[in-house]
Structure 1
Amino acid sequence: MNWFSTDVDDVLNEQNVDRKRGLSDDQVRTRLEKYGENKLIGKPKKSLFALFFSQLNDMLIYVLLGAAVITLLIGEYTDAIIILLVVLLNAIIGVFQEYKAEKAIEALQKMTTPHALVRRDGEVIEVDSKTIVPGDIIILDAGRYIPADLRLIESINLQIEESALTGESVPSEKNATALFNDPKTPLGDLANMAFMSTLVTYGRAEGVVVGTGMNTEIGKIAKGLDETKSEMTPLQKRLAELGKILGYLAIGICVVIFIVALIQKRDLFEMFLTSISLAVAAIPEGLPAIVAIVLALGVTRMSRIHAIVKRLPAVETLGSVNIICSDKTGTLTQNKMTVLHLYTHGQKLDVPSEGTATAEEHTAQLLIQTMVLCTDATLVDGEGTGDPTEIALLELGEKFHSPKRELESGHERVAEKPFDSDRKLMSTLNKERDHYRVHTKGAIDNLLEIATHALINGERVLLTEQLKTDYLRAAEKMSDQALRVLGAAYKDTDSVIDPDEMEKELTVLGLVGMIDPPRLEVKGAIRQAKQAGITPVMITGDHQHTAAAIAMELGMATSLKQTLSGSEIDAMSEAEFNKNIGNYRVFSRVSPEHKVKIVKAFQSHGNIVSMTGDGVNDAPSLKNADIGVAMGITGTDVSKGASDMILTDDNFTTIVAAIEEGRNIYNNIKKAVVFLLSCNLGEIVAILASVLFYWPVPLLPTQILWINLITDTFPAIALGVDPGDKDVMKRRPRNPKESFFAGGAAIRAIVGGLLIGILTLVAFYFGLNEHGYQLWSESIPKQVLTYAETMAFVVLAVSQLFFSLSMRSASHSIFKVGLFSNKYLIGAIILGVVLQFAVISIPFLASAFHVQMLTLRDWVIVILFALIPLVVNEFIKSGMRMRTK
């Protein structure tokens, strides 16, 4: 039903509600059961069971499950249990992280649940907006959010800021008596309707609820958003590809082993065990869990800097961002209008940013008094309600010892002429001691047209053309500084006069210049972003000159030539716009459609784009951006739902800090991945060489699993939380197509892996040779083999632990990085050595892993062998540094 084309009485009859009494408790209860709670419903949540099984959908997991089945079939139950525990542990960690992220978002939504004034059973009460039902009579006043879609039944000077829905930053004027018969009337023109999640900035009204929850205009947009599918991030894609490659590699190695076994006529049962060893060696079992843990720890760190990341892998995408498209209001600026200057003819007075001041000049005192009395906003204990411009005027009064509550006690308002967009003026009539005074504020050019006099140095003089020019020139100077200018005038009268007579024969007092000032910390953040190869771009609904002035002050733009308006975007073809997009830094007076167009134009050049937004209308651009960033304070539920990240402080600086964190997290994940693959390559080299050369296999599947799960995991996690690189924001963003192995990482991984594998075989050979046997000897006694395997097992584990120190930096030495600067890594290495000592010393563990106790001499030899990969890698880095110099 088109409520906007229906008369008020018919709407009330249709909703079966008495306007003066509202709904009864029974009616509310019945309708709540029928229509449900008044809230937006997202996609149905996955159950814990479904979350658990989604974690198993991975190539690495498939290979591990296959290995578990084979070990069960051949009776190696200990190995099968260990493999299944690995799979279970990975799945539990994944479920826990997804569940925790969901809970964080739910908590944020609870914090932003609004309340509403509603008339029920003849009384006006405040209720949780979730309990509102169709037919409820809602009371609206300045500063309240609209809790549902309403057909207005009464409106007095009502203005509603509908940017959350329409994108228009100027409040819309409302009129309950208007009717619209055209069913295609745009939402922004429906003056007799009020929509969910929009904000009353001025006036008061009553309305009857005609739509709740998903049946609101915002609900329709929310439904559309839930139908869109999310793309995998580069990290997800890369890890999935890596998993497939390693899975196929494991299968391929098993096939090779069987072919070699047939050629060498080896025992097939023994080859089953060896193939399982190699499959296990090829797969870094702890990788999914380690990446999840590193991302989760990164997300926790980000939450401390006011950034809540909804999807863990999105953290990595942040590291690739090279374009930040940001709103102006509230993100780059303080979202708080502030008066900077007062002007009375020939005199300019600067307003202090903090503290109080005194207006010595009489005209300035009257100017402040008029500005304060001619407002409908309120300011109590620093908290304001109403129009932001009027709140700024009340704060001006507080600074000059003229608070509104004190002025009103001696200047009672007896009549008013409300603001309207045609006159661009507002007037009040206030009672003085022995007369009445009209106070008028508004657009200075409109004031000058109707005024006849000016107050100069306390004297009332005729308003000449020269004086008008002086006032307009002062206003123009303020406008050039991106200030919003308001003029003030007054008139004394002996009695109460008709509102139509108020704005005649006025005396001009002067004007004020105000601005939504830039956040103090943003300038430094923009400088840091540019140094990091990131281009900050402003996208705003504000006027071109205002936006350009703020952008130039912050260092985002250098001239007006770098700005483009929405109408200019419309005048350009898509190809022309895409081609020239790099020339612009400020986009003004833009619509939601323009935002999507801007994002796609930047992306067409291969850029990774971050986009901020707070309104429902921002949802499409947030979805299209590589990283959608919603505002936590001013943002709507729909914008938060469409985003990848939520700023709890609505601050641009937080985006730059999050990008720095994202870069460091990616670098740390890369360190952990390359480290794990180096270790696994060492295991493959040791086992494959043994098979090819017909030597005894130096490692058992359980031993490899122990190393991969216990010994490797702790250093990998410690690398994942390595202290951030101080120079990370002095480099350009990483190319998202860049491989994990770029920048020499592949060479380091191969050299490290080969050394670890060769030294494991050397240790195995040393263990056999100690008892007079060689690698090719036949009928080696079991205790000799156990000793040799123990030497190989311990060298493999400890060499990997020491090698992790070298992985902290691709170019700097461990001493330059700081040997003890990552205390977690030192702790992980010590813990790894202790656990390795425990596993060969505690009898039941030694029995399970087929190892034995080593002597002190053996441990000295093991340590010396284990240090070689670290030392060689440090020499390689030294050579690279010398070449660079």
Structure 2
Amino acid sequence: KGGLLRGAIESEMPRLHTIPFDSDRKRMTVIRRRDKQPWAFAKGAPEMMLERCTHIRTDRGVEALTESDRARMSEACALMANEALRVLALAERQLETFASSAETAPSNDEVEQKLTLLGLIGLQDPPRAEAREAIARCKRAGIRTVMITGDHPDTARAIARELGMLDRGDDVLAGVELERLSDEALGRRVQQIAVYARVTAEHKLRIVRAWKARGAVVAMTGDGVNDAPALKEASIGVAMGISGTEVTKEAADLIIADDNFASIVAAVEEGRGIYDNIAKTLGYLLAGNSGELAVMLIAGLVGWPLPLLPIQLLWINLVTDGLPALALATDPIDPGVLTRPPRRQDAQLIDRAFLQRIALTGVLTAGVALIAFAYEFYADNSIQDARNAAFSAVVIAELLRAFGARSEVLTVVQVGIFSNMRLFVVVAVSFALQLLIHHLPVLETVFGTEPISLTQCVAWVVLGSVPLMTLEVIKFLRQSRLALLHPTEGRSLT
């Protein structure tokens, strides 16, 4: 925009030396040769640069930097910062001599003093459009988002407000204020601080440790070399794949390929969905196995013949249970998964409630099988018919129960039978295979089955639906009770 070309400037004013940016100094300087004289050009945080400036360039030329000028610059800086602009101060100085060799080169402090202030620049770096929504989703998921930045506190506050990060009672803390806090004092305040500004690498490390001391699982993002210690200390270190340095990536546990905060939220959603599906699959399989075990144990205790043959048990475990379990493992993620609070760190997958659900489901499945077996056994005095009935009842009960296993809270109607087409197809195919076992002579011989009539088929379907219907009624009653206690609470799959 100013008509300046970098190549032309580089040739007219060749670079002699660079003093790189440092998070402690908050400035950087390059030394160039202009008109055969070495000149230092510096940029950095206004408050740090103003300390180093003794003069100011105006339309009248170079003048001494007065307290009035300093106040005017500070006011301009605050105005830009409140508009969420990142403010840089620019300054220059003509050096008498400069030697680039390590032995004779002046120190950084010697170069960066008695500077002439050239002006202030406000840089606009607006947050991505999806960042605000991602932070809102974090709030709903019970995830506390904290901004740690090197920006001016006013800039950081304005950006945080734009992103919806500042709630009532939240604080903004500058690095100089953080230094005055002891670790104990920081630990007491850390939950109320939403934004940290003008921080150093050591500050980031202290913040991570303060959160961990309160028992929190801390995910820390970063892209610079100075972020590496904090990433290493965090429960989960997250590096930026595009802007991140190799040192940061090595220290991280996770790398975000697109440098997008929304990707972290998507990863949390995916992780919760995977955990839910593992719980569904494990619960479905264990409940089925417990029911089959109960059938065999109870029949043995009352002196009945084996209700199920070994080959039938193998079929139930590999096909009737195995195929629906695979479909449950790929169940779509619950849209409300990010409305639930995080699990406690000490929470176990197989807890008391989990075992109670398995026991109840196992008892219901076993009851269905034993009722079918006893009815046929005593009505016709035929072990073959009794096994036929028990086998069919267990298979139907397991297949129907797969639809209810998708949620511990919502009913099958609320979840939707067709919302997981893989499961629907698997159940339909398994039903068809079960009919073949009863009506194809070769399979009848292998599995020890007999043909079943339409009346028997309807009877076993009705009986096999008892476990599912019982569990669905329990869900409905639990929902009704919850609605009375918390009328505005939303529903979610769990």
* TM-score, normalised relative to structure 1: 0.45
- Deviation digits for residues 411-439 of structure 1, max 9, x if unmatched? xx977865444xx59xxxxxxxxxxxxxx
What is the Cα deviation at residue 617 of structure 1?
4.9
What is the Cα deviation at residue 682 of structure 1?
0.9
What is the Cα deviation at residue 445 of structure 1?
9.2
Query: Structure 1 residues 445, 558: CA separation in 2 closer, same or farther (over 3 Å shift)?
Result: farther
Q: How does 1:538-549 map to 2 (within 5 A)?
A: 538-549=147-158
Q: 1:548–1:560: 8 Å Cα contact kept in structure 2?
A: no
Q: 2:221–2:240: 8 Å Cα contact kept in structure 1?
A: yes
Q: 1:443–1:485: 8 Å Cα contact kept in structure 2?
A: no
Show the counterpart of 1:525.
Answer: 134
Q: Is 1:864 matched up with 2:462?
A: yes
* Corresponding residue to 1:622 among 216, 231, 247: 231
* Corresponding residue to 2:163 among 554, 579, 585: 554
Letter of the 2:273 counterpart: N
- Deviation digits for residues 331-356 of structure 1, max 9, x if unmatched? xxxxxxxxxxxxxxxxxxxxxxxxxx
- Deviation digits for residues 589-635 of structure 1, max 9, x if unmatched? 44444434323322232322222233455444334433332222123
Show the counterpart of 2:80.
Answer: 478
What is the Cα deviation at residue 742 of structure 1?
6.5
Q: 1:703–1:793: 8 Å Cα contact kept in structure 2?
A: yes
Q: 1:522–1:653: 8 Å Cα contact kept in structure 2?
A: yes
Query: Structure 1 residues 450, 880: CA separation in 2 closer, same or farther (over 3 Å shift)?
Result: closer
* Corresponding residue to 2:449 among 848, 851, 865: 851
* Corresponding residue to 2:187 among 578, 590, 598: 578
* Corresponding residue to 1:788 among 368, 372, 386: 386
What is the Cα deviation at residue 582 of structure 1?
1.5
Q: How does 1:273-284 map to 2 (within 5 A)?
A: none
Measured on the aligned residues, the alpha-carbon RMSD in Å equals 4.2
* Corresponding residue to 2:59 among 428, 435, 453: 453
Show the counterpart of 2:490.
Answer: none
Q: 2:56–2:118: 8 Å Cα contact kept in structure 1?
A: no
What is the Cα deviation at residue 519 of structure 1?
2.2
Q: 2:81–2:158: 8 Å Cα contact kept in structure 1?
A: no
For 1:169 and 1:793, how far apart are their aligned partners in 2? 77
Show the counterpart of 1:802.
Answer: 400
Query: Structure 1 residues 851, 650: CA separation in 2 closer, same or farther (over 3 Å shift)?
Result: same
Q: 1:444–1:511: 8 Å Cα contact kept in structure 2?
A: no
For 1:627 and 1:786, how far apart are their aligned partners in 2? 59
Q: 1:566–1:590: 8 Å Cα contact kept in structure 2?
A: yes
Show the counterpart of 2:365.
Answer: 756
Show the counterpart of 2:324.
Answer: 715
- Deviation digits for residues 553-603 of structure 1, max 9, x if unmatched? 323235997233455445444333323321222234444444343233222
Show the counterpart of 2:312.
Answer: 703
For CA contacts below 8 A with separation 6 or more, give which structure has more relative contact order. 1
- Greater CA drift, 659-668 or 538-547: 538-547
Query: Structure 1 residues 574, 870: CA separation in 2 closer, same or farther (over 3 Å shift)?
Result: same
For 1:678 and 1:617, how far apart are their aligned partners in 2? 51
Q: Is 1:658 matched up with 2:264?
A: no
Show the counterpart of 1:632.
Answer: 241
For 1:542 and 1:829, how far apart are their aligned partners in 2? 57
What is the Cα deviation at residue 757 of structure 1?
0.7
* Corresponding residue to 1:610 among 198, 204, 219: 219
Q: 1:671–1:807: 8 Å Cα contact kept in structure 2?
A: yes
For 2:224 and 2:117, how far apart are their aligned partners in 1? 39
Query: Structure 1 residues 580, 486: CA separation in 2 closer, same or farther (over 3 Å shift)?
Result: closer
For 2:151 and 2:72, how far apart are their aligned partners in 1? 27
Q: 1:718–1:825: 8 Å Cα contact kept in structure 2?
A: yes
For 1:488 and 1:569, how far apart are their aligned partners in 2? 27
Q: Is 1:821 matched up with 2:423?
A: no
- Deviation digits for residues 691-719 of structure 1, max 9, x if unmatched? 22122121234432332222212222322
Show the counterpart of 2:338.
Answer: 729
Query: Structure 1 residues 882, 549: CA separation in 2 closer, same or farther (over 3 Å shift)?
Result: closer
Q: 1:748–1:873: 8 Å Cα contact kept in structure 2?
A: no
* TM-score, normalised relative to structure 2: 0.76
Show the counterpart of 2:18.
Answer: 158
How many pairs were matched up? 448
Q: 1:548–1:559: 8 Å Cα contact kept in structure 2?
A: no
Show the counterpart of 1:276.
Answer: none
Which secondary structure does the structure 1 equivalent of 2:220 belong to? Answer: strand
Letter of the 2:148 counterpart: I
What is the Cα deviation at residue 826 of structure 1?
1.0
What is the Cα deviation at residue 878 of structure 1?
2.0
Show the counterpart of 1:252.
Answer: none
- Deviation digits for residues 75-133 of structure 1, max 9, x if unmatched? xxxxxxxxxxxxxxxxxxxxxxxxxxxxxxxxxxxxxxxxxxxxxxxxxxxxxxxxxxx
- Deviation digits for residues 125-144 of structure 1, max 9, x if unmatched? xxxxxxxxxxxxxxxx9xxx
- Deviation digits for residues 855-875 of structure 1, max 9, x if unmatched? 433322221221111112222
Query: Structure 1 residues 627, 871: CA separation in 2 closer, same or farther (over 3 Å shift)?
Result: same
Q: How does 1:263-282 map to 2 (within 5 A)?
A: none
For 1:516 and 1:417, how far apart are their aligned partners in 2? 33
Which secondary structure does the structure 2 equivalent of 1:875 belong to? Answer: helix
Letter of the 1:629 counterpart: V
Which secondary structure does the structure 2 equivalent of 1:658 belong to? Answer: helix
Percent of pairs with identical residues: 38
Which secondary structure does the structure 2 equivalent of 1:629 belong to? Answer: strand
What is the Cα deviation at residue 729 of structure 1?
2.5
What is the Cα deviation at residue 535 of structure 1?
0.9
Which consecutive segments of 4 or more residues in structure 1 shift more than 6 A?
A: 413-416, 442-448, 463-469, 487-490, 507-510
For 2:233 and 2:89, how far apart are their aligned partners in 1? 43
Gaps of 5+ in 1: 1-140, 142-153, 174-201, 205-375, 377-412, 426-441, 456-462, 491-497, 501-506, 774-783
Query: Structure 1 residues 560, 818: CA separation in 2 closer, same or farther (over 3 Å shift)?
Result: closer
What is the Cα deviation at residue 536 of structure 1?
0.5
Q: How does 1:322-721 map to 2 (within 5 A)?
A: 418-421=39-42, 449-451=55-57, 453=59, 473-485=75-87, 512-557=121-166, 562-566=171-175, 568-615=177-224, 617-721=226-330
Query: Structure 1 residues 637, 858: CA separation in 2 closer, same or farther (over 3 Å shift)?
Result: farther
Letter of the 2:16 counterpart: I
Show the counterpart of 2:491.
Answer: none
Q: Is 1:880 matched up with 2:478?
A: yes
- Deviation digits for residues 463-496 of structure 1, max 9, x if unmatched? 9998987666434422444534457899xxxxxx
Letter of the 2:76 counterpart: A
Q: 2:141–2:338: 8 Å Cα contact kept in structure 1?
A: yes
For 1:856 and 1:203, how far apart are their aligned partners in 2? 93
For 2:37 and 2:169, how far apart are their aligned partners in 1? 41
Letter of the 1:752 counterpart: T
- Deviation digits for residues 369-402 of structure 1, max 9, x if unmatched? xxxxxxx9xxxxxxxxxxxxxxxxxxxxxxxxxx
Show the counterpart of 1:402.
Answer: none
- Deviation digits for residues 159-196 of structure 1, max 9, x if unmatched? 556x8xxx7695766xxxxxxxxxxxxxxxxxxxxxxx
For 2:455 and 2:293, how far apart are their aligned partners in 1? 28
Query: Structure 1 residues 687, 591: CA separation in 2 closer, same or farther (over 3 Å shift)?
Result: farther
Which secondary structure does the structure 1 equivalent of 2:417 belong to? Answer: coil
Letter of the 2:390 counterpart: A
For 1:561 and 1:676, how far apart are their aligned partners in 2? 47
